[in-house]
Copies of this chain bind each other. A is one copy, B any other.
Amino acid sequence: MNIMDVIKARRSIRKYQELPVEREKIMECLEAARLAPSACNAQPWKYIVVDDKNLKDRLAKEAFSGIYIVSRFAAKAPVLLAVVSDPDWLPKAGGAIRKTDFHLIDIGISGEHLVLKATELELGTCWIGWFDEPKAKRALKIASPKKIEVMLALGYPDENSSFNHHERKPLEQMSCFNGWEDS
């Protein structure tokens, strides 16, 4: 599969088979994430992979309850990943001057490497931003200054699931040439 095949095949998967994900496939996904570029090469991410069923169930129960119940679908994924930020002082200082948190852009870059590699392996993924972070952190025994920025669900897609097909803005709306154009 070339890049566009993979990009087009990727879907945010919200129904998974019960099948566990092979550890070696998880490692391949992490390897893709590992090689990502980042501001000052700080690699400001740590991936906590949760594939132990008991822990995963506990994590899901804590993370996806109350106002976060809409993310409960992810409890059925055989693997959850918590992406913890670990920003370095130099890009943090630069980001403070520029008023852009570079480590979040970096986590997007690295996490999408993982997502695209997973897609090539016929695994489904879903980025999850909506979860109870303090409770998720406690379930994973992460000390307080650390922060889970985002989570990812991973597993074999349920082939019977219908996809939410999300429309994208047309090219002329999401881009312009040689100066700003309103769209």
Q: Within the complex, what minimum Cβ distance (angstroms) separates A25 from chain B?
A: 13
Q: List, in ascending order, chain B residues with CB within 8 A of A180's CB.
A: 48, 84, 140-143, 146
| Pairwise interchain contact A3-B120, C-beta atoms closer than 8 A | yes
Binds B, one of A14-22, A37-45, A155-163: A37-45
Number of copies: 2
* Given A1-B3, A171-B30, A141 contacting B35 (CB threshold 8 A): no
Hey, what's the 0/1 contact readout for A81-116 against B, CB within 8 Å counting as 1?
Answer: 000100000010011001111101111111111011
Residues of chain A touching chain B, judged by Cβ–Cβ distance below 8 Å, are 1-4, 6-8, 10, 12, 27-28, 30-37, 39, 41, 43, 45-52, 55, 84, 91, 94-95, 98-102, 104-113, 115-117, 119-120, 127, 129-131, 133, 140-143, 146-147, 149-150, 166-169, 171, 174-180, 183
